[in-house]
Chain A
Amino acid sequence: MLAFAIRRAFQSFIVLLVVGLVAFSMFNFVGDPIDNMLGQERTGADIERLRVQLGLDQPFPVQYYRFLEGAVQGNFGISYRQGRPVSEVISERLPATLELAFVSAVLAVIFGVALGVFTAIRRNGWAANTIMTLSLIGVSLPTFLIGILLIYLFAVELGWLPSFGRGDVVDLGWWRTGLLTQSGLKALILPAITLGLYQMTLIMRLVRSEMLEVLRQDYIRFARARGLRDKSVYFRHALKNTLVPVITVTGMQLGAIIAFAIITETVFQWPGVGLLFINAIRFVDIPVMAAYLMLISVMFVSINLIVDLLYFAIDPRLRLDRRGGEK
């Protein structure tokens, strides 16, 4: 298992190097930031000075090496637009995105698994059929539309919840949280639903089909033949056997939640890194874009690594090598 973990960690490292190369090449291929940063009244000397200051006069490999060196230390240079270190800009925005993603993911997993199990057990009941039909909406409606519909209903028509922003935040020094104030929590509800709805329906449909598959297995029949209670048959015997594929997809979706927060953050003007990224694109603020790309890929890769390791915790058949040939 340790060998497996090391091998997977190494693969993750390669992936990050490749992403780093892609992120870095943006500096050379996506327009010239100098144009944007200096106004119409620039002189040749100004351009040259800024080029040297930003390190853009160096040859390509040197720039790449410097970029990697900085990236490993969390230093992505200076935002072209804001003139402040990128790490600072991102770290003050990151808590907002992580809180939003975390709450969405928790909602998606809890409701997704619960509804998935329910619709599998009551396969032909009217409640299960209604949920399944409604879930099609969750899968097929685009996120921005769901967000706008929710804003229209709950913010404009009913006026219960705020339509944008993060509400009041509490500064914990290194983390500004909106989870501790009432307005912060209220502001979180709509974006969290918007962001998590697709994932929830996806998890639900997956849990349902996996449950239906497992419920056909012999060991479920045998568990029933042994007179075990429904609760035990469904949750102890069936649900656990559905978890490996469910965790795989949930892990990938967790990455997607953080990445796709861009759209939700735009709709709700949520001050997170997604919105930061959109604004960075608008102003060709390449250091911010590159840092964002790296950040997302680090998250994706580490989530996948954790998911792979979770398999071992769930399925004893994968732990074979640790017991050393016992038969």
Chain B
Amino acid sequence: MNKQAGREPVLSVANLSVEIPTRQGTLTPVDKLSFDIEQGRILGVVGESGAGKSMTGNAVIGLLDPPAHIAGGEIRLKGRRIDNLAREALRKVRGKEIGMVFQDPLTSLNPLLPIGEQLTETILEHLPVGKTEAQNRAVAALEEVGIPAAAQRINSYPHEFSGGMRQRVVIALALCAEPSLVIADEPTTALDVSVQAQIIALLKRLCRERGTAIMLITHDMGVIAETADEVAVMYAGRLAEIGPVRDVLTAPIHPYTQGLMASTPLAAKGKKRLSQIPGAMPRLTDLPDGCAFNPRCPIAKDKCRRPPAPNLDSGGGNAACWYASGARS
């Protein structure tokens, strides 16, 4: 990725590995992952369920559920290492510098607290303001995410809002302490199709206004195409391909990305039967040697079935494949 030199990325992840010790041995749901997100940019992270997308997001914000833990690599936020921070220091990063939006707005809000209280407690925790000012900011935050009559709704409980409205409240909560990075973990999956576009547009507008970077985790290629600047494709815990969104979507070079694109319905493609990638993603307990995609890959050769697994350098910097076709410059 050719970015202006000297500008420091907001989030820089290098060789990140997450491990889960189990009785059957150690699983590696995230395996030597590297990517950067620059200020105000949106990185889409795509992949099948279980590819390690959410695990990566949780690792960045420091919310891995034990026994999962970061086993290697570095996470830097604006140049400062955050993967080895103490518990209390990490807590101060969460919410203040990294905001997070979860998948299901129906369960993300505490049902027993008015939304205004949930906003003010977050603001009071992170910003040096008094109670009155925190309340004013809470109202302003709700107005910004498009809650009508915000000043009156501040004392409403979550169940008094619809799903889309609740996700707006969740976004207001994630952004109310003005973080420089937002991790949005499938923010529209649980919503009505008609509401999805609104929520994505809202998230995009707010982050552009503030210069907030977004790590957008999704399995919806349409959302990626509309929203993201860069896209990272994950497969079995590893990065398969990364690059500017237009390049990856129109000219994918990793066979997995190619298969993924071929199986995405597009109006322009006509009524042809959708192709599909044969087989299923291997379970973490029995990953094949070499490239994790080799059992399903149409162009796999002997080299792919032997260690070491290919990394981004193997495919010219953009794709983890020995035989990536049509490598981009």
Contact = CB atoms under 8 A, between A and B. Distances in A.
Interface of A: 217-219, 221-229, 232, 236-237, 240-241, 314-317, 320, 323, 326-327
A314 B110 CA distance: 13
A241 B112 contact: yes
28 contacts: A217-B107, A218-B107, A219-B108, A219-B109, A222-B173, A223-B110, A225-B61, A225-B95, A226-B100, A227-B91, A227-B95, A227-B96, A227-B122, A227-B125, A227-B126, A228-B121, A228-B122, A229-B91, A229-B125, A232-B121, A236-B121, A315-B111, A315-B112, A316-B114, A316-B157, A317-B159, A320-B159, A323-B160
Contacts of A232: 121, 125
A231 to B, nearest CB: 11
Interface string B259-302: 00000000000000000000000000000000000000000000
Given A219-B107, A224-B91, 6 more contacts: A217-B107, A218-B108, A227-B93, A237-B113, A240-B113, A327-B162
B303 interface: no
Given A316-B157, A326-B160, A221 B111 contact: no
Contact of B122 (A221, A226, A314, A317): A226
A227 B126 CA distance: 8
Nearest to B112: A240
Given A327-B160, A327-B162, A226 B109 contact: no
A299 to B, nearest CB: 29
Contacts of A219: 107-111
Instruction: Kindly state the interface size class of chain B when it binds its partner.
Output: 20 to 34
B323 interface: no
A317 B109 CA distance: 13
Contacts of B129: none
B170 interface: yes
Contacts of B157: 316-317
A314 B157 CA distance: 12
A197 B40 CA distance: 59
A316 B160 CA distance: 10
A227 B112 contact: no
B92 interface: yes
Contact of A225 (B94, B104, B107, B111): B94
A315 B111 CA distance: 8
Contact of A228 (B95, B108, B170): B95
Contacts of A228: 91, 95, 121-122, 125
B102 interface: yes
In order of increasing CB-CB distance, the 7 nearest A-B pairs are: A227-B95, A227-B94, A218-B107, A225-B100, A226-B95, A316-B157, A219-B110
